Structure 1
Amino acid sequence: MNDKPFAGRVTAAALFLAAAAALAACGSAPPSSQDFATSGVSQMSIRANRAEGIPVRFGDTKPHAWGARSPASYPVHGLDAARYQGRIDFREARQAGISFAWLKATEGGDMVDPAFAENAAGARRAGVPVGAYHFYYFCRPAHEQAAWFIENVPKVRGDLPPILDMEWNHLSPTCTLRPPAAEVRASIREFSRIVARHYGTAPLIYTTPDFYERNDLGSLRGVEFWLRSVKAHPNERYPNERWSFWQYSGTGLVPGVGGPVDLNAFGGSRQAWQVWLSQRSQG
């Protein structure tokens, strides 16, 4: 979920988007309110960055040549975002096919994303199921981070379950610690237990291929995964792993969003999506 700088086709729109993406460094100083008061990308930009294998109303500034098991073969799509994407027009995003959104809320034990509250409220008004994610900081105990998340993310009936974002933060200026795999898994279990007790639904675990492999996350039991895989189907990058959500692009374009954004697919039918919502939303 930590947005990466991107390189797309060299158009005026792409240059504008590249400037926006260059701001995406997790843990940087919080911006002022006008920093996330941006308008959505234009339909011209999206058409200029059309990509095979993703839904036709989205674009991608760094497209991948998908095979038969492309993101577009899944019917339910959503986004995840942080302050870097600006103020999101969720009505426009919903009309384009966005069915869910997770927004960065907290990081570590002392950081709050300044765009979370406004964008979460906007998603609810537009009828887009929305949830919050926490970016894990490896130099702070799991129980402190869970308490910080709970303090800053209200429990709202119908919201999506929380997300625990577990990945190495290569850009952190304050924490380069990489704990042993067993300690990482224990932290996941502790954070999840505390948060699930408060919200009445367990968090999903978001992760990347390198983090998953390095920390043997496949050995965790009773965990629901959201997996990043931007160049291959998750079944290729995470063999034999079950997953509910697939992050297939970090350079997507969506109407209503002011710059590149992560695109995601739910791993089932529209009917399965409704069942999942009824079972996993906050009560």
Structure 2
Amino acid sequence: MKKPAPRKKPAPRRKPKKKSSWLRSTIIIVSILLVITAIGYHYRNGLAYYLGYKTDKIIKQEAEQKRLSDVRNFQILSKHQGKIAGIDVSEYQGNILWDSVKNIEGTFPIQFIIVRSTAGKNRVDAKFHQNWKAIKNQKIIRGAYHYYRPNENSLEQAELFIKTVKLKKGDLPPILDIEKLPKNQSIDSLKVGLKRWLKRVEEHYGEKPIIYSGESYYSDFLEEEFADYNFWIANYNFFVENIKDDWLIWQFTEKGTIPGIKGNVDVNIFNGNLQQLKFQTIGN
């Protein structure tokens, strides 16, 4: 019996040469510096305003100065001075000092306020009635929105909104907020539910609702089948600086700072002037 031939030992693998960690770190640092420089140059006007305001005025009048929004907010609002600005709030803002809620950046007047009224089939915003009455007393155009839960009955959600919100002449039409995808149903089924909510609410108020959503959600699921509705679109992209023609309202930040309100606030731009906004209200 022949002895098996001895197996050849595999040739030792050569260790790959290590890339220079120093070179990689340098490239990353340089890239970051270039991005920061580009952003700083792009927002140079806003930065000049911000830094000048902080250094020249806050030292002498610190107690009287209003808190600033970030540089981008100032820049966006400055570019849309032919249009009007507003905010939206909910119970998450807590108790609001409404007499102080006048301007954004101490420069841009707040000319409409939208409040969350209801969510799903059984949730009334804890601050809705308080906020709703206070905004009326401030003589600011107001609107109410319902936060839609895709996995709950659409008609029950509509009835809750109708029961809770008493819209009057001069108020904005009812607003449906849809942001989430369903867990246990198809997109087609979701759209059927949305249409039922919209139809029931329109029948009750005699006003076609406005739909709120994020831009990607809008373009992916809503733009074609709900083209007859006006849209309030959320897009916080740092490099988006102008409202699009087919947006009725643009929510461009969730990090606004408003005197009289603790914490961050959503800030919006209406695609028109005050007269055009009044034309959108009930009874006009």
- Whether TM exceeds 0.5 here: the answer is yes
- Report the CA distance between 1:242 and its aligned residue: 1.1
Say yes or no: does 1:46 pair with 2:47: no
Q: RMSD over aligned Cα, in angstroms?
A: 2.5
Aligned positions of 1:10-21 closer than 5 A:
none
1:252 aligns with 2:241: no
Q: How do residues 1-283 of structure 1 correspond to structure 2 at under 5 angstroms?
A: 46-47=67-68, 50-55=69-74, 70-75=76-81, 76-96=84-104, 97-168=109-180, 177=183, 179-231=185-237, 232-233=239-240, 242-268=246-272, 270=273, 273-281=274-282
Q: Whole-Å Cα distance in 2 between the matches of residues 235 and 263 of structure 1? A: 14
After the TM superposition, which parts of structure 1 deviate over 6 Å for at least 4 consecutive aligned residues? none
Residue 206 of structure 1 aligns to a residue whose secondary structure is strand
Q: 1:152 to 1:260 in 2, by over 3 A?
A: same
Deviations 1:223-251 (A, max 9, x none): 10000001143879xxx871110001111
Does structure 1 conserve the Cα–Cα contact (< 8 Å) formed by 2:66 and 2:259?
no
The 2-side partners of 1:43 and 1:228 are apart by 32
Q: CA deviation at 1:256?
A: 1.7
Does the aligned pair in 1 maintain the 2:171–2:281 contact within 8 Å?
Answer: no
CA distances 1:29-52 after superposition (whole Å, capped 9, x unpaired): xxxxxxxxxxxxx865724xx433
Q: Find the aligned partners of 1:274 and 1:54 in 2 and give their Cα distance.
A: 24
Which consecutive unaligned segments of at least 5 residues does structure 2 have? Answer: 1-62
Contact 1:136 1:164 (8 Å CA) reproduced: yes
Answer yes or no: is the 8 Å Cα contact 1:206–1:226 preserved in 2.
yes
Q: Is the 8 A contact 2:172 2:280 kept in 1?
A: no
Paired AA for residue 213 in structure 2: T
Task: Go from structure 1 to structure 2 and tell me whether the alpha carbon gap of 1:141 and 1:54 turns closer, same or farther (over 3 Å shift).
Answer: same
| Letter paired with 2:166 | P
Q: Name the TM-score, length of structure 2 as normaliser.
A: 0.68
Counterpart of 1:59?
none
Shift of 1:212: 2.0
Amino acid of the structure 1 residue aligned with 2:275: Q
Contact 1:157/1:281 (<8 A) preserved = yes
Would the alpha carbon gap of residues 166 and 73 (structure 1) be closer, same or farther in structure 2, given more than 3 Å must change? same
More helix as a share of residues: 2
CA contact (8 A) 1:71 1:248 kept: no
Count of residues paired in the alignment: 215
Kindly indicate whether structure 1 or structure 2 has the higher relative contact order, using CA contacts under 8 Å at least 6 residues apart: 1
Using the aligned pairs only, state the percent identity. Answer: 27
- After superposition, the Cα gap between the structure-2 partners of 1:251 and 1:179, relative to the gap in structure 1 and judged at 3 Å, is farther
Consecutive unaligned residues in structure 1, runs of 5 or more: 1-41, 56-65, 170-175
The change in CA–CA distance for 1:282 and 1:115 in structure 2 (over 3 A counts) is farther
TM-superposition CA deviations, 1:49-90 (whole Å, max 9, x none): x433434xxxxxxxxxx6xxx343223111111101122233
CA drift at 1:216: 4.2
Deviation at 1:161, TM superposition (A): 1.3
Aligned pair in 2 of structure 1 residues 282, 192: CA closer, same or farther (>3 Å)?
Answer: farther
Q: What's the TM-score, normalizing by structure 1?
A: 0.68
